[in-house]
Homo-oligomer: A and B are copies of this chain.
Amino acid sequence: MRNRIRKIWKSEDFGFTKATDNQVNRFLKPGGQFNVVRKGGRFTVKDIYHWLMNARWGVFWTLAVGVIVMVNLLFSVIYFIIGVDKIEGAGEIGVSWAGDFATAIFFSFQTFTTVGYGALAPIGIPSNIVASLEAVLGLITFSLVTALIYAKFSKASVKLLFSDNILVSPHKKGKALMFRMVNERTDSLINMSVDVLVAETKLKDGKFGKKYDMLNLERSNIMFFPLNWTVVHVLDESSPLYETSCNGFKDSSLEFMIQVKCFDSTYSQDIYIHHSYVSEDIICDAKFELMYGANEKGVLEIDLTKLNAYSLVVDSEMTSV
């Protein structure tokens, strides 16, 4: 797998651009989305659906309730215009504008939700037609809500956490780049693999050229993922970053683009997760602290809050390269 991808990316042309007139900040946003503006696309129903599918539950429910309230107010206005006297059981009408409108609102909600007590009921053709329409619309609205709730539920949402930083750590007799990740949930991910692509910007002939390299990893896949996984790229002769010092990394504009593939056994499907680190995220001469251990009952415990915990390495710990 990694060999195949490396070959692709060594080719002259690649998915990202080779050279641009302006400097490109980063190709992937920290959350993993492409940092690209798309002009001239058509807007469709599916785009609303995608947006709702990815929206937070709070946003979704606010919007759903908001739409329901707005539609009801709209129909209330229509009933008010037709005349509250066309609603049976409206009682004394014309006493106050507000009271009549309240009747219209209550009738609207009783129709939209199809609760239809009948204490309020439409009289005459116009209000009957509008009420029929509103009842159908109400049912369709809740059909839509049902479909969207299930869509949101069924979207596999892997909660993979990445360390904030990418460290240059002592490793055997040299140094290595390390970041780590952990699954926030207990049980879902198996058969994971990871690819790390580094993009380096170089100014050449007045244009900002990009150099791309796939990094060799000490281990690029695991079968189970019960604990954390520290991904290690050894900074040896085979590394494209070998000749640059750690401070050099921070000065050059590097971008590490990470693609994780895994099988989500809860949803039984392959999942891809993207993440991106830039030069500012590099910490020199530091190492991650252990996140887990076995407790007295013989059960492994992992503390997710320690994901970003690292300690700086004192000189005596550093091995000479």
A residues bordering B, Cβ < 8 Å? 5, 8-9, 11, 13-17, 20-27, 33-42, 44-47, 49-50, 53, 57, 64-65, 68, 72, 88, 102, 105-106, 109-111, 113-123, 125, 128, 131-132, 135-136, 138-140, 142-151, 153-154, 156-157, 159, 184-187, 190-191, 195, 197, 208, 218-219, 221-227, 229-230, 257, 259, 263-272, 292-306
Cβ of B145 and Cβ of A142 under 8 Å apart? no
* CB-CB nearest in chain B for A61: B140
* Contacting pair A226 B305 (CB below 8 A): no
Q: A67 CA to B13 CA in the complex, in Å? A: 53
CB of A299 to closest CB in B, whole Å: 6
- A39, B227: Cβ atoms closer than 8 Å: no
When the two chains form the complex, which single residue of B36, B38, B219 contacts A13, counting CB atoms closer than 8 Å? B219
- Asked if B35 and A293 make an inter-chain contact with CB atoms under 8 angstroms apart, the answer reads no
Residues of chain B within 8 A (CB-CB) of A21 are: 293-294
Judged by DSSP, the binding face of A is: mixed
From B37, B159, B272, contact of A299 by CB (8 A): B37
Complex contacts, A34 vs chain B, CB 8 Å? 186-187, 224, 226
